[in-house]
Structure 1
Amino acid sequence: MEAISKNISRRNFIKFSSLTGAALTLGLYSQAAGKEAEIITPEAAENLGIEMNAWITIDTNGKVTITNHRSEMGQGSFQSVPQMIAEELEVNLSDINIVFAQGNNAKYGSQITGGSSTIRGTYKKLLKLSATAREMLIEAAAKKWNVSKAECYAEGGRVIHKPSGKKFHYGELVQEASKLEAPKNVKLKLPEEYKIIRKPLPRQDTPLKTNGSAIFGLDKKLPGMLYAVVERNPRFHGKVKSFDDTETKKVPGVKHVIPVKMSVFNTFREGVAVVADNLWSAMQGRKVLKVEWDDSGFEHLSTEQLYARMSDALKSNNSLSVRTKGDAEVVYQKSENKIEATYETPYESHACMEPLNCVAHYQDDKVEIWGPIQGPDWVQDFLSNLLSLPKEKIIVNMTFLGGGFGRKAFMDYPHEAAVISKEVKAPVQVVWTREDDTTQGPFRPGMMYHCKGSVNANGNIESYIMRTAGQNMDHQWPNADKKSYNGSATEGFLETYLNSLQHYSFSDSPLDVPIPVMWWRSVYASTNAFAMESFMDELAAKAGKDPLDFRRPHLHDGRYHELINKLEEVSGWKNRKKGEGYGVAIAESFSSIVGEVVKVSKKADGKVKIDKVWAVMDCGWYVNPDIIKAQIEGSIIMGLGAAVTHATHFKDGKAVEQNFNTYKMPRITDTPEIEIHIMENDEKAGGVGEPSLPPIAPALTNAIFDLTSKRIRKLPFNLEEV
């Protein structure tokens, strides 16, 4: 299924509806930022002088088409969005077709798929939109029968007259319904009335991905399309001094060899593109290309130098205050029951199963993009500025993504494809090899944390101090304020802790080095939580308390107590046996709370093994429990990988690990049993795709301490060597 866009103006609506005779189309319109979006029809859109977005269209066959304005990278929006629509619209999932929207934030608002925001940012709007369409269809049927609307109800894509049993298929009603004014206030179902939402229904995109009909970026083909690979400077900031393409041009199929620059934050990454009429020829041509680099004017740092600078920053007095309360340092210094510890987390590659790729076709005064893109509207803004084209001339089409984790929300690779297409005057698909994808970054930033804290006579926290050293992603952008602190320095820490503690201090010591860094699944929470929840365990030990019991007095919110009680219950925390190590960690990110318990023991050879992980997620309102469980499992495995399996190192300014032979990934045999529980409550929807990653590393190292009395404060570590 290839994604298309339905941009419905009055003229386009007439053209579109003529394909089936008529259609009921509803969209959302917000008059101003911050105001609640209104539901409108094409006629209302014409009166307002706007071009509406076709979120829902029902044709005369009763087929429902919905526009997904976010990407699908495995997180399940191609299932969750139709599941929400089907529930309130009262149709079968099989009668819903979902298509990708093109980039256009004027129509759809933010289209960035990140921060676990797809459902939590749109669920109320989509439920209301679906219920509105349902009510308009019921009203249309009631008018045709000349009966009271109260006597009618919708079910299975039909409107039924309860007293007589008469029925109209939705397709028979769309023409009349399209002439009605959308009702302002519709009643939504209560969770106990759900028939489709909250059910573990199979994903609609699974058949597409197993039968080969799903279009990923690498599947996109255009007439006359060329293929390009790029030899990029391995030191990120270096320049092309010269290149010799004599042997490259001898490779059959090679058409062009050109220097190319792509924008990466506040600089341009340089390289030489080999363009051919097939991918194999381009790759072979690259192998014999000779490039001389100019790597002067910037530092060529190693991993050891990077962490030495972080360590020095933690020891200096030069830090930016992020969030404080009370007088933590004074209380800490006066305490007789205090501890301190330093934690370290590694740089990481994103390692998506689908490496980066992008198709671009530059034509005269416009450029069209196709590819695995997390932020189509961001790409529009970015390319409009760099290519000096109006935003409406930057057409961005989303395909399915084979993983994203934040990397495919960046704009460098679409820019590179557009530049090459413009130069060779043809559509071009740029393909990154696995080595390109692993070594070129941007990476998750490596971080160091120095934590200090004290407990009082009751065994409760009286002071908590955390100082962070590492790269601030925001400092990389052009004209960035490098005196600004890292606003995500407390990301992952429970808000209830911040409410309950009387004396705390969080500060940031930014590192300014030429290694590009960016968002990685759960962003700074993925590193912060290791320090935060490891140190929480150390404070519990200092207080002589059980780690779970130690947290309870600091949870000044019933929602957190319910989660921790559930975690204790399902893990059998109070029934721990000799020879078993149990560790716990709880983190909060993207409006969701996740607690995890890890159980470890020793194998016959005395080495530590992970026996089981229990995860309890409170994400508030949710759609599909199977998708949630899949996201939790994926997050835990990815977090385990970053804790015990892989890391990116640097030597002489270049990334060392190049492929999965050195940047090793967790295997099935490395994956422990994972048991998942979802809390049921009336809270607003939170994120699902990322919040389960931060707790796993500290829960594991806390479990190892419980078993062996060894504290692990540096990641990654080797389980075989514990």
Structure 2
Amino acid sequence: MSNDTLSRRNFLRTTGLGSAGLFLGLYLPDAARAMIMTEHEALAADVYTELTAWVLIEPTGKVTLMCHRAEMGQGVYHSIAQIIAEELEVDLASVDIKFAQGNEKKYGSQLTGGSSTIRGSYKNSLKLSASARVVLTMAAAARWAVPIAECYAESGHVIHKPTGKKFHFGELVVEAAKLKAPENIALKPRSAYKLIGKPLHRKDTPMKTNGSAIFGLDKRIPGMVFAAVERNPRLRGKIKSFDDSATRKIPGVTNVIKIAMGVYEMDREGVAVVATSTWAALQGKKALKIEWDDTGFEHVNSLEIFSKQRELLKTEEGRILTTQGDPNGVITQSKDLLDVVYETPYQSHCAMEPLNCIAHHRGDTVEIWGPVQAPNWIQDYISKKMGIAFEKVIVNMTFLGGGFGRKALTDYPHEALVISKAIGLPVQVVWTREDDATQGPFRPGISYRCQGVIDGNKNISAIKFRMAGQNNDHFRSGDNGKANRSTSEGWLKPYFESIKNISFADVTFKTPIPTIFWRSVYASTNGFAYESFVNELAHKSGKDPLEFRREHLKEERTQKLLDKVAEVSGWKNKGKGFGMAVTECFGTTVAQVVKVSKSKGGKLKIDQVWAVVDCGWYVNPDIIHAQVEGAIVMGLGAATIHEITFKDGLVEQHNFYDYKMPRITDIPPIEVHIMENNEDAGGIGEPGLPPFAPALTDAIFDLTGKRIRKLPFDMASI
């Protein structure tokens, strides 16, 4: 490369890639076509900005994979590598993984949400890896002057079958880079997989065990200072005045400044304490004396929120998301209507790693480091909010200690950049657990009115669902006048085939409380209401809840799922205290059965949970088991233990002492089973949560005759 072409950009690229010899990537829009070239050819062609994913094979044979999505415990850091290694024919232990920077042109969407990473990219990843393996095999065959059919790849080598001669991949880089992969390469059948479908140990587990994994809180950059922010506890309002005299006396405190953090289209004011350590910043924050001006803003109360929702559900038809037949006509004429309301609370995300972010504002370029779920969203928001070119907003991902949707928001990176710009230094802003619990955004609290009619054959002739709760999209982009697009989330599509009259509607409800996605998004609340209502309709018809579903879910794939959950739970010979539910979200259907009983002392307990998962094509069964188990634990907490409540505009919960988590003694045995089929891959991080609450409350009804329609409820009071 000549000196006149060695720009700063290309220098950083070259030094960042090291001595890579084989570059693999995917173009847009032809995302299945592999590109093989050397590092310098890639630079000369300036193709990096056009890629959506890429892999490097060094002359030593080492494979480096850029993980373009966030790893927050769900396992994609390992699963992507497991996919690539399968078709590339390399030992998984030899694969190195690095987090990619935010780059939408290069990687496409990098939002980690909707359980989308594997299901959205596995086919292209397999094709890419297979293409690389084929050109490496072609290069070896050419060097030996033998037919390619006599060569095969294994463990990072190409081997000549008749003689046993072999080259490692790195030795073939120069030749392979000059070859074009044939089109329509045949991929392995699932029966030939050596890695995919196997319960392999995760590559990030050793790092997280020995402390070498870098989470946001671990990250350090030269010259970095630390900050903590006291924000308006009522979510809205302005700073009337503040006294920082006591704060400035604390050793290590270097600055105190008034700031404003962007939360969607609103600015939330606060006072930032900058210091030489996190401890000093937090102590300085505690010493602040701030007078807030909250006049002119609604001071919300939980009782009023849910009372208003119930009143709206009595009179408002709402915005129709989808409808078929004439549900209103059937319901109006019915003399035996089931008409009930369910209620689900606001929830905090409570990720184990509180929010944090490092930011450095350098003028026309800004850079952040930290636990983020949506690099592209951050780039877009910061670009518009701070007037900086999109490509000059650099976002570096670290491991996340949990996210559940909260770390997809752009507020905390923006806040860190505002502080960095004010002080002219890189800064790490750390939120306390109390900040995280009280500031939101939260999962919205929602009420549901469900109406249904059973016909003469004891099947559902009409069903009508209306939900009243905040629409997350309204905070992000404003009210578009349409129904919440997630109104039917969690509801199985085969129901539409058997129920001739059905409708879903969204009754518009707004408060100033900021909301955002929470694990399984609206399915986490919809699932409780809709599947609880199916259980109530089953009881009204006098039918077993599993058989009732079997009659309404005629699709063969769903029938097999029901067969499996009945088999593993012993449903056919069950006694009292069994409940079940089935929900679908993000391409995966999960059926759960819960068994409850009462001890001799009359205490209600959960004896067992059986979960059957149909996620189609899958990578690692151990990861699926872990995700479903974790989702059930999270669902247990949301159903029976914790909620966010508001009084006079203030959040009443602050930390784990009043927003309690399930303890190990609360967790029942959980048995997870995976359906085997050749369907497309579905998501797995979220779908295990929605069916738990309706299955649990159905089990409680089966045992006690008490119907639960409001969450959370106290197990000890049943």
The reply to whether TM is greater than 0.5 is yes
CA contact (8 A) 1:245 1:289 kept: yes
Aligned match of 2:35: 40
Choose which of 478, 481, 490 in structure 1 pairs with 2:479.
481
601-610 or 54-63: which moved more? 54-63
Aligned match of 1:300: 299
Deviations, residues 623-674 of structure 1 (Å, cap 9, x unaligned): 0000000000000000010000100000001110000000000000000000
Looking at structure 1, the residues matched to 481 and 332 of structure 2 have their Cα atoms a distance apart, in angstroms, of: 28
Percent identical residues = 58
Are 1:667 and 2:663 an aligned pair?
A: yes
Deviations, residues 342-384 of structure 1 (Å, cap 9, x unaligned): 1000000000000000000111211110000001111111101
Choose which of 617, 620, 643 in structure 1 pairs with 2:613.
617
| Shift in CA distance, 304/250, structure 1 to aligned 2, threshold 3 Å | same
CA contact (8 A) 2:110 2:375 kept: yes
Aligned match of 1:372: 371
CA contact (8 A) 1:62 1:95 kept: no
Choose which of 534, 547, 550 in structure 2 pairs with 1:549.
547
Are 1:70 and 2:65 an aligned pair?
A: no
CA contact (8 A) 1:8 1:51 kept: no
Looking at structure 2, the residues matched to 668 and 467 of structure 1 have their Cα atoms a distance apart, in angstroms, of: 36
Looking at structure 2, the residues matched to 208 and 61 of structure 1 have their Cα atoms a distance apart, in angstroms, of: 24
The AA in structure 2 aligned to 1:711 is R
The AA in structure 1 aligned to 2:226 is Y
3-state secondary structure, aligned to 1:51: helix
Looking at structure 2, the residues matched to 323 and 171 of structure 1 have their Cα atoms a distance apart, in angstroms, of: 56
Are 1:129 and 2:128 an aligned pair?
A: yes
Deviations, residues 273-308 of structure 1 (Å, cap 9, x unaligned): 001011111111111101111101111011001111
Aligned match of 1:155: 154
The AA in structure 2 aligned to 1:534 is S
3-state secondary structure, aligned to 1:55: strand
The AA in structure 2 aligned to 1:556 is K
3-state secondary structure, aligned to 1:403: coil
Aligned match of 1:413: 412
CA contact (8 A) 1:30 1:38 kept: no
Aligned match of 1:194: 193
Aligned match of 2:638: 642
Deviations, residues 34-92 of structure 1 (Å, cap 9, x unaligned): x5443223447855866354611111111000111101000001110111111101111
Looking at structure 2, the residues matched to 181 and 52 of structure 1 have their Cα atoms a distance apart, in angstroms, of: 19
User: By how many angstroms is 1:553 displaced?
Assistant: 1.7
| Shift in CA distance, 720/8, structure 1 to aligned 2, threshold 3 Å | farther
Deviations, residues 193-250 of structure 1 (Å, cap 9, x unaligned): 1111111010100111111111000011112211100000011111111111111111
| Shift in CA distance, 15/516, structure 1 to aligned 2, threshold 3 Å | closer
Looking at structure 1, the residues matched to 429 and 372 of structure 2 have their Cα atoms a distance apart, in angstroms, of: 14
Q: Mapping of 1:568-587 within 5 angstroms?
A: 568-577=566-575, 580-587=576-583
The AA in structure 2 aligned to 1:306 is I
TM-score normalised per structure 1: 0.96
Looking at structure 2, the residues matched to 13 and 344 of structure 1 have their Cα atoms a distance apart, in angstroms, of: 53
User: By how many angstroms is 1:266 displaced?
Assistant: 2.1
CA contact (8 A) 2:262 2:411 kept: yes
| Shift in CA distance, 363/45, structure 1 to aligned 2, threshold 3 Å | closer
3-state secondary structure, aligned to 2:494: helix
Looking at structure 1, the residues matched to 529 and 125 of structure 2 have their Cα atoms a distance apart, in angstroms, of: 38
3-state secondary structure, aligned to 1:477: helix
Choose which of 491, 494, 505 in structure 2 pairs with 1:493.
491
Deviations, residues 496-535 of structure 1 (Å, cap 9, x unaligned): 1123210011111121111011100000000001000000
3-state secondary structure, aligned to 1:247: helix
Are 1:381 and 2:380 an aligned pair?
A: yes
Choose which of 510, 519, 522 in structure 1 pairs with 2:520.
522
Looking at structure 1, the residues matched to 346 and 712 of structure 2 have their Cα atoms a distance apart, in angstroms, of: 10
User: By how many angstroms is 1:136 displaced?
Assistant: 0.8
The AA in structure 1 aligned to 2:106 is K
Looking at structure 2, the residues matched to 369 and 224 of structure 1 have their Cα atoms a distance apart, in angstroms, of: 14
The AA in structure 1 aligned to 2:285 is R
User: By how many angstroms is 1:10 displaced?
Assistant: 8.1
Are 1:242 and 2:237 an aligned pair?
A: no
Are 1:591 and 2:587 an aligned pair?
A: yes
Looking at structure 1, the residues matched to 355 and 47 of structure 2 have their Cα atoms a distance apart, in angstroms, of: 39
User: By how many angstroms is 1:481 displaced?
Assistant: 2.5
Aligned match of 1:98: 97
CA contact (8 A) 1:9 1:46 kept: no
Q: Mapping of 1:138-217 within 5 angstroms?
A: 138-217=137-216
3-state secondary structure, aligned to 2:245: coil
Aligned match of 2:683: 687
The AA in structure 1 aligned to 2:101 is Q
The AA in structure 2 aligned to 1:616 is V
Looking at structure 1, the residues matched to 561 and 47 of structure 2 have their Cα atoms a distance apart, in angstroms, of: 49
Looking at structure 2, the residues matched to 429 and 161 of structure 1 have their Cα atoms a distance apart, in angstroms, of: 54
Looking at structure 1, the residues matched to 159 and 463 of structure 2 have their Cα atoms a distance apart, in angstroms, of: 62
User: By how many angstroms is 1:329 displaced?
Assistant: 1.5
User: By how many angstroms is 1:13 displaced?
Assistant: 7.1
Aligned match of 1:3: none
Looking at structure 1, the residues matched to 363 and 49 of structure 2 have their Cα atoms a distance apart, in angstroms, of: 25
User: By how many angstroms is 1:15 displaced?
Assistant: 5.9
Deviations, residues 302-329 of structure 1 (Å, cap 9, x unaligned): 1001111101110123511111111112
| Shift in CA distance, 372/44, structure 1 to aligned 2, threshold 3 Å | closer
The AA in structure 1 aligned to 2:493 is E
The AA in structure 1 aligned to 2:408 is A
Choose which of 688, 696, 703 in structure 1 pairs with 2:699.
703
Deviations, residues 123-162 of structure 1 (Å, cap 9, x unaligned): 0011111111100110000000001111111111111111
3-state secondary structure, aligned to 1:499: helix
Structure 1 unaligned residues grouped into runs of 5+ = 1-6
| Shift in CA distance, 609/68, structure 1 to aligned 2, threshold 3 Å | same
Looking at structure 2, the residues matched to 657 and 270 of structure 1 have their Cα atoms a distance apart, in angstroms, of: 21
Aligned match of 1:333: 332
CA contact (8 A) 1:621 1:686 kept: yes
CA contact (8 A) 1:10 1:46 kept: no
The AA in structure 2 aligned to 1:258 is I
CA contact (8 A) 2:420 2:427 kept: yes
CA contact (8 A) 2:316 2:507 kept: no
Aligned match of 1:400: 399
Choose which of 648, 672, 675 in structure 2 pairs with 1:676.
672
Looking at structure 2, the residues matched to 8 and 252 of structure 1 have their Cα atoms a distance apart, in angstroms, of: 40
The AA in structure 1 aligned to 2:594 is V
Aligned match of 1:628: 624
Aligned match of 1:502: 500
Looking at structure 1, the residues matched to 205 and 220 of structure 2 have their Cα atoms a distance apart, in angstroms, of: 22
User: By how many angstroms is 1:338 displaced?
Assistant: 2.7
CA contact (8 A) 2:229 2:271 kept: yes
Count of paired positions:
708
Deviations, residues 541-570 of structure 1 (Å, cap 9, x unaligned): 110000000011211311000000000000
The AA in structure 1 aligned to 2:469 is G
Aligned match of 1:290: 289
| Shift in CA distance, 276/507, structure 1 to aligned 2, threshold 3 Å | same
Deviations, residues 109-131 of structure 1 (Å, cap 9, x unaligned): 00000000010010001111111
Aligned match of 1:4: none
3-state secondary structure, aligned to 1:535: helix
CA contact (8 A) 1:362 1:418 kept: yes
Aligned match of 2:85: 86
User: By how many angstroms is 1:339 displaced?
Assistant: 1.0
Looking at structure 2, the residues matched to 303 and 509 of structure 1 have their Cα atoms a distance apart, in angstroms, of: 18
| Shift in CA distance, 239/9, structure 1 to aligned 2, threshold 3 Å | closer
User: By how many angstroms is 1:9 displaced?
Assistant: 9.1
User: By how many angstroms is 1:482 displaced?
Assistant: 5.1
Aligned match of 2:4: none
Looking at structure 1, the residues matched to 16 and 515 of structure 2 have their Cα atoms a distance apart, in angstroms, of: 44
Looking at structure 2, the residues matched to 347 and 474 of structure 1 have their Cα atoms a distance apart, in angstroms, of: 17
Looking at structure 1, the residues matched to 32 and 386 of structure 2 have their Cα atoms a distance apart, in angstroms, of: 32
User: By how many angstroms is 1:263 displaced?
Assistant: 0.9
The AA in structure 1 aligned to 2:388 is L
